[in-house]
Chain A
Amino acid sequence: MTATPVARAAAAPGRSAGDRGDVARLPGALGTGLALGRLEVRAFFRERQTVVFVFALPVILLVMLGSIFGHEVTGHGISVGAVFAAGMIAGGAAAASFQNLGLNIAAERDRGVLKRLRGTPMAPAAYFIGKVILVLVCVVAEVAVLMAVGVAFYHLHLPSSAGRWWTLAWVLGLGTVACSLAGIAISSLPRSGTNAGPVIMLPFVVLQFISGVYVPFNDVPPWLQHIAALFPLKWMSQGLRSVFLPSAAAALEPAHSWQLGDVALVLAAWIAGGLVLCLKTFRWLPRRDG
């Protein structure tokens, strides 16, 4: 250690205050958020555990389910592989948003990262902009990989019209926002970082079973279908089936139609509710800090 940096640092304030007027500007939320987003993405892909559990798991499950059941064809001439692929794309998007943010923010809160950020002049919005970028990159990459695997091996067809691409975009867009907000909200629930896994993963795995991700939705018992209909994942996977399956497959849905209007409504309701919940419950300090 030498004294030089302090001497240099001590000289700087006078200079910069003179240059920029009396009050130096606080960095804006957007610029800081974009910088945070870059670091978020880097940190995500450096941590093997999150890459495996959040990113690789849906791909592995698609390969497993697709290899076991994917070459069957339903009575309506629809490839089961494509049904799984469509569901897994919904599940992957939810993993990259809900599960990713839930675990990530719970860990950051537990390790005191949020507390430290809260002690700086960082604009709070910057933190969330960083998370938006993280989720955006993860969801786009996850969906791209799952689509590529589905097309290559499991009879998935890319959307056949501009209308279907548009449906893909808005279902994934609304679904990702709804899942992200739910993830941020649920991150406050675990009492510690080590509890976060079970608290977040258990409901997520159950939802994937009953929402048409691991099991085709028309094979799910009606009473579980009704429970699934309360959550966004069922509507995301239904919306994505409308994108990737032939129109005739709508007959297999419980309502015998894709119900895209309802998909939009339910996802929008989750976004509104999730936003209120996040604003009311988000905490920067660990729960043990009172």
Chain B
Amino acid sequence: MIPHLTGRINFVNTNKERAMKKTGELLMGKDPFEEILMGNEAVVRAMIETGTKVAASYPGSPTPEMAAAILSIPEDQRPFYFEFSVNEKTATEVAFGAALNGNLSCAFFKSVGLNVALDSFVQLSLMNITGGMVVVLGDDPGANSSQNEQDNRNIYKMSRVAVLEPASPKEAYEYYKHAAALAVKEQTIVVLRLTTHVCHARQKIRFSAYENSVPARTNFNQANGPYIALTAMALDMKRKSVQKLKRAGQYIKQTGLNKEITSKNSRKKGIITSGLTFLSVLDVLELSSYQPDILKLGAVNPLEENIILSFLNSHEEVLILEELDDILELQIKALAYDHGMKTKLKGKTEDEDFVGEYTPDKTMDKLAALWPDMVTQYPLPPALPFPVPQRPAQMCPGCGHRSAFFAIKKALEKEDVTVADIGCHTLGYMPPYEMGEILLCMGASTGMASGLSLFNDKKRVVAFLGDSTFFHAGLPGLINTIFNRHNITLILMENGTTAMTGHQDHAGSVIPVENLLKGLGIESILSCDTYNQSKLTELVKTSLGIKGISVVIAKHPCMLKFTRQKRKQPGFIRTHVDIDPQLCNQTHDCVERFGCPTFIRKPGGSVSTHPDLCIGDGSCRQTCPEKAVVFGKEAK
């Protein structure tokens, strides 16, 4: 498995230099066409075909390629308005507001983004959303790029929303169109639930024609409401939402989103499943001696009771196979109980059944444990006689955060407490820096640091926060720190972009971070470029001596973005650093303490640099006590 790392992480294919040519043109094609696209891209074509008029998002894996696909269409040709909102809650509100004007709207973001959006999201089913609204949510079973693998299906029940769950890019395209049709018909919100490997899968899809863009509407009318859910009105609105969800159930039934796949030799066994797990089941059944029938649920909320009851009725034993939580299982068991069904129902039995993605491997193990006579497991080759070293993720060569952590570490005492936040700088917890000891979620560092600072005279408390996160969810925590006079030092890691998810723009390009901090009345705001390591060390030392809130802005542009831009400029010359063997005393500060991946440790202890990795920024040169790190040309 790929090592897990907490954060909002970019998908490897967003490298704009190598983006598939003409993605924008393709997506805007008028005639039907067939093309290989990623799940996320296919959804954007569905947005265009359905006349979606407004889309809003905050970047986060597994959905940022939807935004990349939208941005590949030149703005003047784009048939809808798109924005990166400041966070997922705002994105939801923008899409909702636009839908009240009569426009079909869409908000999309990652799994944990729903936690941020939730306060607004739970209200939406109470509202008469005249234009209709689709929320595309990317859950992340396996926590490939998130701080947890939360199952957002838990939230849909409470929020009373219809949820469609595709298994493949092709279905993602088709189901968005169903979701949009249902949302428009019932003037409501519908969720399209994607998971990481549906978002990022690629396959050939047959797309329909696209006529013309629909006109923008501005016809909000209070009479379409009520839109204010106060006290007793909230209950009446809830009654309506219950009715709406029932009607959504009718739509699901009529459109045949839930399908039974029957086999000639099922032996009266059946499997109820959904999403990508369905495809895992199909792969395992290719290797099986008999094939249970399958009920594939395309809609996971509300459940289509009749089709489930009929499936249970025609089988002696049914396995409910779902990754993450036992949402379907508990509902189906309750349904079976209510109808006095005699079918043997199987579901989750082990703790591990609740953990991780139901890959074909995990599905095979689960099916083999339940029906050992069915699954043909093939022998695995012997394990290697020696381990392959782990490859934890790390900051890029030249990353300003590396210089920052190297310098900040020198200003701290061993007992000081450092609090992390989400972003590339979360990687500071890795050796050799080991800074940022606690992490919850976006924008949580200042709040946690404030709590840690209470009754704490000996240990100084430092919070880290990135600039995009500062605007996303960092402000309330910081204002609380100021308001309640907590004693912390905030180090604002400003790289001028939302780096981890692929360099999306953020509000800092319009509202300078420093102006905002000054406006909040913070008296001690120090700032320097992180490449000026000795100055940064001094600034952090000074800041730690100040009682109350103090801020150090540790600035340096994201060097991945910067280098990519620089490479495109005419006359670009690649530079790199070398180790001067005459000067090198093998103190290993470069490779062990600064830790840029460019440095290579050779057998015997000598050090060299990797020409493929080094970007020639030279930020490492000041870390060598012998001054043995020299620019390439100087070594010659």
Q: Do A and B bind each other?
A: no
Which residues of A approach B to under 8 Å, CB–CB?
none
